[in-house]
Amino acid sequence: MFELCASILAADFAHLARDVQAADAAGADAFHIDIMDGHFVPAISFGTGMVRTMRGLTRKPLDVHLMVETPLDFVEELAALGVERVSVHYEIPGGPGPALQAIRAAGMQPGLVLNPETPVEAAKPFLPQIRQLLLMTVHPGRGGQPYLPGSNARIAAASQLVQAAPQPIPIQVDGGITLCTIAEAHAAGAWSFVSGSAVFGGPVPRNVRQLRLAATVCPQDLL
């Protein structure tokens, strides 16, 4: 079992409704929305207006990735918009604890995100609070980058770490997830695959179907 989470950062915004609905119909399980503030990462992407638009386009779960320094500022509005999951970075000033708590209190599922250089053990104190652990498999801030070497070992270590929690904590991976990398990430222990370029670059229905098939291939068979 796994989840394909289509990252709209790579969508063609001139045809957003067409492409989101195509991904939805072809089997995307959820939609990933990257909010960037120009501080935590250099880029600015979109804000809660895009979340409102997406809520109007799909009934699939919305998975919001806050690449922002002050995630608390967003929680109330995201809850009001009917967002299911919100992930915040470990690396933000003051740490993620208060935002994780607020997300949960607002009735959404809190996720913790670790940048590639953050040791997976950093998640340990937050395990009781989270419903998803998101490992960045590229440096955050833009799409279309290659899957970082060492990601599979991090996924495997994180899979071990989350066993200590009483509740199930799925591992999500974000960045460089393509037909070439999805199977190895799955074999390493990831459950949710965020994919932008590989979903929205080219024909969306075909991309979604192929990614879903590729996720279940045994990586040994690819050698």
What is the Cα–Cα distance from 63 to 88, expressed in whole angstroms? 11
Nearest approach in angstroms of CB 128 to ligand DX5 is 25
Angle at CA 110, nearest 5°, toward 108 and 112? Answer: 160
For residue 162 the two structure tokens come to: 């989350």
34 counts as catalytic: yes
* Cβ closest to ligand DX5, residue 82 vs residue 116: 116
Stretch that binds Zn ion, among 29-37, 46-54, 104-112, 152-160 (CB under 5 A): 29-37
Residues near ligand DX5 (CB under 6 A): 7, 9-10, 32, 34, 65, 138, 140-145, 174-177, 194-198
Binding mask 39-78 for Zn ion (x = CB under 5 A): --------------------------x-------------
Residue whose tokens read 């979340």: 51
How big is the site for Zn ion, counted in residues (CB under 5 A)?
3
* Cβ closest to ligand DX5, residue 7 vs residue 132: 7
Query: Of the listed 24, 34, 37, 63, which one is catalytic?
Result: 34
Taking CA atoms, 83 is separated from 24, 49, 61, 125, in Å, by 16, 13, 7, 25
Segment (H or E) for 157? helix 151-162
| Residue whose C-beta lies closest to Zn ion | 65
Binding mask 171-190 for Zn ion (x = CB under 5 A): ---x----------------
Residue type, 172: Q
Angle at CA 13, nearest 5°, toward 9 and 14? Answer: 165
Question: Taking the CB of residue 9, how many other CB atoms lie within 10 A of it?
Answer: 22
Decide: is 34 part of the binding site for Zn ion (CB under 5 A): yes
Cα 112 to its chain centre, rounded Å, is 10
* Cβ closest to ligand DX5, residue 9 vs residue 103: 9
63 counts as catalytic: no
